[in-house]
Amino acid sequence: MTPEEKAAFKKLVPEAVTERELAGDPIEEKIDKPRGTINRSGHQGLDADRLVRGAPSGTEDLFKLYAESIVGEEHLERIIGEARDRCEGAADK
C-alpha cells in the first residue's frame, strides 16, 4: 500500500462502499468508528454470521484485513477473497 493509497483509505466513508453483499449475504451494517469497548480504527462490515475489518497498518505500508465467520471455513475464505478484492480498489473511490 503506497502512502497515497493509505491516505485515501483513511478518508473513505462507509457511504462510499456501494456494495450490498459480501460472500452472497447482505451487508447489514458498515461502520468506521469504534463501538463500545472496541478501540480499533478502520472500516467494518458486520452481521450475525460474519465480521470483516480492513485498515491500513499504522507502522508499515500494508493493509490489514480481519475476517470472522461462524458459518464455516469455506464461507470465511470467500469473505476474505471478496473483501481483499474490494479493499485493493477502495483507495480509487
For the chain, the maximum distance between any two Cα atoms, rounded to a whole number of angstroms, is: 36
pLDDT for residue 36: 53
Closest CA to 83 of 36, 31, 19, 40: 19
- Domain 3-92, what fold? TATA-Binding Protein (3.30.310)
The set of cell numbers assigned to 41 is 480504527
Phi-psi region of 4 (alpha: psi -120 to 50; beta: other; left: phi over 0): alpha
37-93 pLDDT tens trace = 444 544 455 555 677 877 788 888 888 888 888 888 999 999 899 888 887 766 555
Pairing status of strand 25-26 against strand 29-31:
unpaired
Per DSSP, the chain holds a count of helices (H) and strands (E) of 2, 6
Domain spans, the chain: 3-92
